[in-house]
Structure 1
Amino acid sequence: MDETEAWPEEAIKRLAKAVRDRRDELNVTQTEVSAKGGPSPATLSLIESAARSSFSRTTLRKLERGLGWAGGEAMRIVRGENASATGGDTPTPRRVPIETGRPDVHAVVETFAAWDAPPKDKLQVLQKLLEQAIKEMPNGS
């Protein structure tokens, strides 16, 4: 499945339920998800009401960011992968901590690896991160 084709109705409903469940779990509004880098409240409403037959990768990446999901998690939900251990058909998304003082390094690496970008773009991001880290190092370290 990709963004250019209509997704099956059950896939849209799976995503809608997972998003509603995650917002309930976090106890956040659509506006708060949007403020954390998620899609607009209007788009979140469309997702949660299963009102569209597909969403762009950009929208799904924003959704993952706003809900604290690992990269690629929204499409895994759409495809029905990563189903819960209870045998139900509702996937259990992997979580990325969204409000911690220190990021989960494994989640950051996993999200970066799942990022759908050309290798050159990934290298440029890594270069900028390294440059920033070097600037922040105390002298002599």
Structure 2
Amino acid sequence: MAGARTVRRLTGVCAADGGIRGELAFALGKARGTAHCALSDLTHAGRRRRPEWDALVATMGVPFEVVHLNERDEAVAAASEGRTPCVLAHTDSGIVVLLGPEDLAAIGTSVLRFDQTIREAADAEALVLPLSGLGP
């Protein structure tokens, strides 16, 4: 693919703070219906990570890190500000938002659909995503 950039790593940014205080605030907000994170719904079932999520991440040809709002480095914070939850692709020429909040909400909890959607998003951005994934 002419002009394609290679993805070196992926970062998923949750729409909540991490740590005990952040997790408690999110749990209370979720119970009240005032907090939601489509990325967390995809990666976790309750408080446990989804085994199918871990299986997908293990098949990717690049590292995939999931961080909370208060765990972002400066570059990730700048790229994701106001767009969480999201999935970012790190390339040699910068960070690209691959999936935004609406994309992740449309995926729901289907790890297979996530795999397909992230590949389509990479293709649309002319990014080479070296992953085998779960799909064909």
TM-score under structure 1 length normalisation: 0.30
Q: Which has the larger radius of gyration?
A: 1
Greater share of helix residues, 1 or 2?
1
Greater share of strand residues, 1 or 2?
2
